[in-house]
Structure 1
C-alpha cells in the first residue's frame, strides 16, 4: 500500500477532512468543542504511552429501560479510553477496526464509572488494547479487547 492510500483519506478529505485539518493545525483529532466524548459526558483523566484512564459521571440518560448503565455506553467509553491509550504520543490517529466486550455485571447504583485501558500490542499497522470498566465501588462491570489501525497523517504533514 502506498503512503497516500495508507492515510485512508480521499482527495476531498485531505483538503478539509477532520484528520487532515487537525494535523495541519497541530491538534489531535476528536478533541474539538463538539467531540462525541463531550456529548456522552466522558473525560480522559490520565494518559500516557500505552495507557489511559477515563471517567463518566452517570446520568439518567446513560441508563437503559431496566435502570442500569446501557451496554452501548460501556462500549463507547472502552473504545474511547483504548483509543486514547493506543494514540498517546504517536504521530497517527487510531480508528477502531474491531472490538469485543464481555459484560460481567450490571452497572447500577453507581455515580461514576471508570475505564482503564492498556496497550498490549503495538505492531507496524495495528495496536491492540484491553480495557476494564469499574463502578465507583471497584466492581468490574466489563472487559474489552479493541484493535486499532495506525492511520498515518497525509504526506508532508
Structure 2
C-alpha cells in the first residue's frame, strides 16, 4: 500500500500505539492497529484510552484530507464524546471516521472502532474539531 501521508513521517504517538492510516479521502478516514500487550489494561483488555485515541485520531484525519502535494490540513479537538460498547483482547482494530457537517472553521465528526476479525463494535464517538489557520481551505498550508 502506498504511503497515504505522502512522506510525512509518523508522529511519535503513532509509533507508540502502532496504528496505520489505511484509507484517507475527502470526508472519511480509516486506521488499523494490531493489538499487542502495550494496549491492554490490568484486566487484559484494550484500554479505553487506546480506543479513545483511535477515535480522536481517525476523526481528525477524516476532516483534513488535502489533495495538494506537499500541503497539509490540521485540526484541534474541541470536544469528543465517547461510548464504550465492547472489549477486545487481541486481533486487529479498525477505526473509521466520517465528516458529519459544520461550518467553515468548526466541523463535526462521527467515529467508531470495530474488531476486524469479529466485526464487534467496541466504541463510538461524536466530536467537534476546529481547523488550524489556513486549514479551512482544501488547499491547506505548506508543511
Same fold (TM over 0.5): yes
Structure 1 runs (4+) greater than 6 angstroms displaced: 154-157
Is the 8 Å Cα contact of residues 101 and 144 (structure 1) preserved in structure 2?
Answer: yes
Q: Could you tell me the TM-score, scaled by structure 1's length? A: 0.73
Unaligned runs of 5+ in 1: 1-27
Residue 60 of structure 1 pairs with residue 37 of structure 2: yes
State the Cα deviation string for residues 111-132 of structure 1 (Å, max 9, x = none).
Answer: 1111111000141111111001
1:10 aligns to what? none
Counterpart CA distance in 2 for 1:74 and 1:86 is: 19
Farther off after superposition, 86-95 or 134-143 = 86-95
Residue 146 of structure 1 pairs with residue 140 of structure 2: no
State the Cα deviation string for residues 94-124 of structure 1 (Å, max 9, x = none).
Answer: 111110100011223x311111110001411
Residue 36 of structure 1 pairs with residue 17 of structure 2: no
The structure where helix makes up a greater share of residues is 1
Q: Could you tell me the TM-score, scaled by structure 2's length? A: 0.80
State the Cα deviation string for residues 51-107 of structure 1 (Å, max 9, x = none).
Answer: 001100001010000000000000001111111001112763111111010001122
Larger radius of gyration: 1
Counterpart CA distance in 1 for 2:11 and 2:142 is: 27
